[in-house]
Amino acid sequence: MLNLILFGAPGAGKGTQAELLIKTFGLIHISTGELLRAEIKNGTELGKKAKKFMDNGNLVPDELVIDVIKNKLNSCQNVKGFVFDGFPRTVAQAEALDELLCKNCMSISGMLSLEVEKQELIRRLIGRGLKYGRIDDQEQSVIEYRINVYNEKTLPLIEYYKKQGKHYGISGKGSIQDIADRLKAVVEKL
């Protein structure tokens, strides 16, 4: 199985590149942000709890996110592998993911970290807010806050996966196709 983590700050291009990776390698896309937005749309209890964190740019508590991942993994049997997008975002989530995969005789193949400068992230997120109307993409203060949360809580995961020899840094600059080509070249060697 090929289990990839597509890692990077908000606006790094994870969603766009995940869509291309799943097509190229026949994988299942798991975006916790999308799964949580679906819970909100369906008016579930979990969605109601998650919404207030998401609107303010905070991380949703680990227990809720891990439950979402467990349900999704259980519903996908006999697949070639997964692209995790926006998950894990904390060390506790990474540990829970390792444990969950291990129980099912799976493991992470590689963590692909898209590297993009802060000013470019802000430019892309403001553009996305205008295009798709996501509440958390509309205010520069919330965007900057999310980038700070990423630096504080999520960036330490680079060390976590480096220790396992699974971290691959990839430049997230340039055209969508250029970035996709760089990712493909790394994944083909895994």
Q: Which residues bind ligand AMP (CB under 6 A)?
A: 10, 32-33, 36, 53-54, 57-60, 65, 86-87, 89, 93, 136, 146
**Bridge partners of 30?**
84
Task: Pick between residue 78 and residue 166 the one whose CB is nearest to ligand AMP.
Answer: 166
The H or E element containing residue 167 is strand 167-171
Minimum separation from the CB atom of position 180 to ligand AMP (A):
19
Task: Pick between residue 71 and residue 181 the one whose CB is nearest to ligand AMP.
Answer: 71
Which residues are marked as active site? 14, 89, 128, 134, 146
Exposure string for 54-91, b = 16+ CB within 10 A, e = fewer: beebebbebebbbebbeebbeeeeeeebbbbbbbbbbe
Task: Pick between residue 92 and residue 186 the one whose CB is nearest to ligand AMP.
Answer: 92
Task: Pick between residue 44 and residue 181 the one whose CB is nearest to ligand AMP.
Answer: 44
Residues 6 or more apart whose Cβ sits within 8 Å of residue 155: none
In the block, which residue shows the tokens 């998950």? Answer: 87
Residue nearest to ligand AMP (CB): 33
Alpha-carbon span 187 to 190, nearest angstrom: 5
Alpha-carbon span 6 to 15, nearest angstrom: 9
